[in-house]
């Protein structure tokens, strides 16, 4: 049998208590090596404990709960955040039981009450030793994957111990995924997709190994593979581009893969930040035909300012198409909307946020038009690793527009209501202009005869009567509240001929504009 090294034979324990005499008592009262434990040090508060943990390997911590400085609860929080693999045993008095409860809420599984019974402490330690040894039986590869996965999931993490066998080299982070994933693979069975993932991972590793580059790869999502590439010598961006373009385009001969690549780095503590860098570069694949993207590529650039989106115009056009029950126009509008976002170089997360804003305004407008239940949403955020192309997001949007169109159709509300409301709103803003009914009909995309019929049925007036009434009401207001001359008011409300204005005003009110002003002034 191969003799076990110290790392396999012993589990490393750190003792933490703000009273040195208690630390010494815990260290020397029990023959720890007899139970497979090596005491690697003593600390007198949580901060000192964390410093020791950063400097050497610690498997579990035996700590008092109440200490000056960083106490046991705060230490537990830090361990849970940065060193989740380290077990913590809390020691507390009966009067400190609330501390123990708080410790359990932040992940502490073991606590002992003072005065500590030796047999109870030994039993807890033996259970921890067995658990730690079981975990240490994992291969180096498994340890590497655990570390790498943790760094990928938390880009801000920088306190997790780096596996020593990974240190030394020139590193790159590669984030790869399938283009148009929803169209290509979303309907694959779980088994089929797992097989494809395994072949994908193996392909990446083999392509790198063929160039003398070691690698670790983990899936952060079913369509997001992160690879840490470790080269013994530094390679230029151009060399990496050639290597990875061959890998992306050569897999299964489909050319469907693309990737983002971080800048080179030497310190593995940067892994989390570099993974975020590679992920950010990869997002730009929707805006370029390139398959390999680096952070300093011209195609990978930030927007200088937030683009101005004419939401009002889009909402009006889409609502009009919904009420007209015109699926062809809906498809054209949705396609044009996302084409406009892409032309503005919006990445998918930003494009989806803009679309969601449009959807909110659209539902509000439909509610104002008498639709009772347009507030229903998709129920979950869009997974942009699955729907990772503009075309797939557009398909989702079309499905939502079709649902709204069915809702409008099933609601039973009079479609003419919204048409006439739009016309009335337009006229209230343009009554000063020489507006014709045919122009309004063209703007609403309906025939002039149909518009005239709807307008008469809705308002009880002809278009001309409605316009005169609108202008007369405004003229009455100006006559009563201003000192403008009558001919100036006539021009302001849309009448170029003074005599015609006076004639219409008298027929509407029964008096001339001057008589009306005099009457209102006397009141």
- pLDDT tens-place string over residues 258-279: 999 999 999 998 999 999 999 9
Quick one: pLDDT at residue 379?
A: 55
| Cα dihedral across residues 427, 429, 434, 440: positive or negative | negative
Residue 137 tokens read as 């039986």
Residue 482 tokens read as 């201003």
Model confidence at 3, in pLDDT bands (50, 70, 90)?
Answer: very low
Q: Answer yes or no: are the C-beta atoms of 278 and 148 closer than 8 Å.
A: no
Measured from the Cβ of residue 312, the count of other Cβ atoms closer than 10 Å reads 10
Task: Give DSSP secondary structure letters for 39-60.
Answer: EEEEESSHHHHHHHHHHS--SE
Residue that is last in its domain, among 136, 159, 193: 136
- Identify whether residues 262 and 154 lie together within a single domain: yes
Distance CA 135, CA 312 (A): 59
- Identify whether residues 400 and 422 lie together within a single domain: no
Count of structural domains within the chain:
4
Give 335's strand partners.
Answer: none
Does residue 306 fall inside a structural domain? Answer: no
- Identify whether residues 170 and 286 lie together within a single domain: yes
Does residue 194 fall inside a structural domain? Answer: yes
Quick one: pLDDT at residue 158?
A: 52
Residue 253 pLDDT > 60, yes or no? Answer: no
Residue 283 pLDDT > 90, yes or no? Answer: yes
Task: Give DSSP secondary structure letters for 441-480.
Answer: HHHHTS-HHHHHHHHHHHHSS-HHHHHHHHHHHHHHHHHH
Does residue 459 fall inside a structural domain? Answer: yes
Residue 223 tokens read as 């369509």
Quick one: pLDDT at residue 63?
A: 92
Does residue 181 fall inside a structural domain? Answer: yes
- Identify whether residues 428 and 400 lie together within a single domain: no
Q: Answer yes or no: are the C-beta atoms of 468 and 504 closer than 8 Å.
A: yes
- Identify whether residues 175 and 128 lie together within a single domain: no
Helical pair 463-481 and 498-509, crossing angle rounded to 10 deg: 90
- Identify whether residues 252 and 172 lie together within a single domain: yes
Residue 229 pLDDT > 60, yes or no? Answer: yes
CATH of the domain at 266: 3.30.70.270
What are the tens digits of pLDDT across the range 389-403?
999 999 999 999 998
Quick one: pLDDT at residue 475?
A: 92
Residue 377 pLDDT > 90, yes or no? Answer: no
Helix or strand or coil: residue 125?
Answer: helix
Determine if the pTM surpasses 0.75: no
- Identify whether residues 341 and 455 lie together within a single domain: no
Residue 339 pLDDT > 90, yes or no? Answer: yes
Sheet (strand 87-92) strand order: 37-43, 11-16, 60-64, 87-92, 110-113
Does residue 1 fall inside a structural domain? Answer: no
Helix or strand or coil: residue 8?
Answer: helix
Quick one: pLDDT at residue 5?
A: 37
CATH of the domain at 479: 1.10.10.60
**Mean pLDDT on 479-508:** 91
Residue 303 pLDDT > 80, yes or no? Answer: no
Does residue 382 fall inside a structural domain? Answer: yes
Residue 336 tokens read as 């044009």
- Identify whether residues 150 and 273 lie together within a single domain: yes
Does residue 392 fall inside a structural domain? Answer: yes
Kindly report the backbone phi and psi dihedral angles of residue 113, in degrees, each rounded to the nearest multiple of 5, phi listed first: -95, 140
Quick one: pLDDT at residue 322?
A: 84
- Identify whether residues 120 and 157 lie together within a single domain: no
Does residue 212 fall inside a structural domain? Answer: yes
- Identify whether residues 386 and 440 lie together within a single domain: no
Identify the residue with better confidence: 411 or 156.
411
Residue that is last in its domain, among 384, 408, 432: 408
The residue segments making up the domain with residue 246 are 145-293
- Identify whether residues 126 and 183 lie together within a single domain: no
Residue 511 tokens read as 């008096």
Residue 410 pLDDT > 70, yes or no? Answer: yes
What are the tens digits of pLDDT across the range 184-205?
887 778 888 888 888 888 889 9
Residue 4 pLDDT > 50, yes or no? Answer: no
Please give the C-alpha separations between residue 511 and each of 476, 488, 503, 508, 520, in angstroms, as whole numbers. 11, 18, 9, 8, 12
Distance CA 59, CA 85 (A): 7
Kindly report the backbone phi and psi dihedral angles of residue 224, in degrees, each rounded to the nearest multiple of 5, phi listed first: -150, 105
- Identify whether residues 389 and 491 lie together within a single domain: no
What are the tens digits of pLDDT across the range 440-455?
888 887 888 888 888 8
Q: Answer yes or no: are the C-beta atoms of 204 and 215 closer than 8 Å.
A: yes
Q: Answer yes or no: are the C-beta atoms of 501 and 495 closer than 8 Å.
A: yes
Quick one: pLDDT at residue 266?
A: 93
CATH of the domain at 19: 3.40.50.2300
């Amino acid at each position: 049998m191969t003799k076990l090294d110290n790392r396999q034979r012993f589990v490393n324990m750190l003792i933490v208590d703000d009273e040195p005499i208690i630390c010494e008592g815990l260290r020397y009262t029990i023959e720890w090596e007899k139970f497979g434990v090596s005491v690697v040090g003593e600390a007198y508060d949580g901060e000192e404990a964390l410093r020791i943990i950063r400097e050497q390997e610690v498997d579990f911590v035996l700590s008092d709960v109440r200490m000056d400085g960083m106490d046991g609860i705060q230490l537990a929080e830090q361990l849970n955040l940065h060193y989740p693999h380290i077990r913590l045993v809390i020691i507390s008095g009966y009067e400190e039981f609330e501390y123990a409860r708080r410790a359990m809420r932040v992940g502490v599984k073991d606590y002992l009450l003072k005065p500590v019974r030796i047999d109870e402490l030994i039993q807890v330690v033996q259970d921890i030793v067995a658990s730690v040894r079981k975990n240490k039986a994992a291969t180096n590869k498994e340890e590497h994957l655990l570390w790498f996965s943790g760094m990928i999931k938390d880009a801000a993490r920088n306190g997790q111990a780096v596996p020593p066998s990974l240190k030394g080299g020139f590193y790159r982070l590669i984030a790869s995924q399938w283009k148009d994933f929803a169209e290509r693979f979303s309907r694959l069975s779980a088994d089929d997709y797992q097989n494809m993932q395994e072949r994908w991972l193996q392909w990446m590793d083999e392509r790198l190994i063929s160039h003398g580059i070691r690698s670790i790869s983990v899936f952060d999502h079913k369509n997001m593979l992160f690879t840490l590439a470790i080269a013994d010598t530094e390679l230029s961006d151009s060399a990496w581009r050639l290597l990875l373009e061959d890998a992306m385009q050569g897999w299964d001969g489909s050319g469907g893969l693309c990737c983002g690549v971080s800048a080179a780095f030497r310190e593995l503590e940067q892994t989390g930040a570099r993974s975020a860098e590679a992920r950010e570069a990869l997002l730009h694949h929707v805006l370029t035909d390139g398959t390999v993207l680096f952070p300093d590529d011209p195609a990978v650039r930030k927007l200088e300012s937030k683009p101005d989106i004419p939401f009002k115009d889009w909402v009006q056009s889409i609502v009009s198409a919904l009420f007209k029950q015109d699926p062809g126009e809906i498809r054209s509008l949705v396609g044009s909307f996302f084409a406009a976002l892409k032309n503005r170089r919006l990445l998918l997360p930003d494009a989806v946020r803009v679309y969601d804003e449009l959807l909110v305004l659209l539902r509000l407008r439909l509610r104002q038009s008498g639709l009772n239940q347009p507030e229903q949403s998709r129920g979950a955020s869009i997974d942009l690793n699955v729907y990772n192309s503009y075309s797939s997001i557009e398909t989702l949007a079309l499905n939502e527009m079709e649902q709204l169109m069915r809702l409008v159709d099933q609601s039973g509300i009079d479609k003419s209501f919204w048409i006439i409301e739009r016309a009335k709103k337009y006229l209230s803003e343009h009554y000063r202009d020489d507006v014709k009914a045919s122009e309004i009909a063209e703007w609403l995309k309906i025939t002039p005869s149909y518009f005239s019929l709807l307008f008469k049925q809705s308002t009880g007036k002809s278009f001309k009567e409605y316009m005169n009434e609108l202008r007369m009401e405004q003229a009455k207001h100006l006559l009563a509240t201003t000192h403008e001359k009558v001919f100036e008011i006539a021009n302001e409300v849309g009448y170029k001929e003074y005599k015609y204005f006076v004639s219409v005003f008298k027929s509407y009110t029964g008096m001339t504009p001057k008589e009306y002003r005099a009457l209102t002034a006397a009141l």
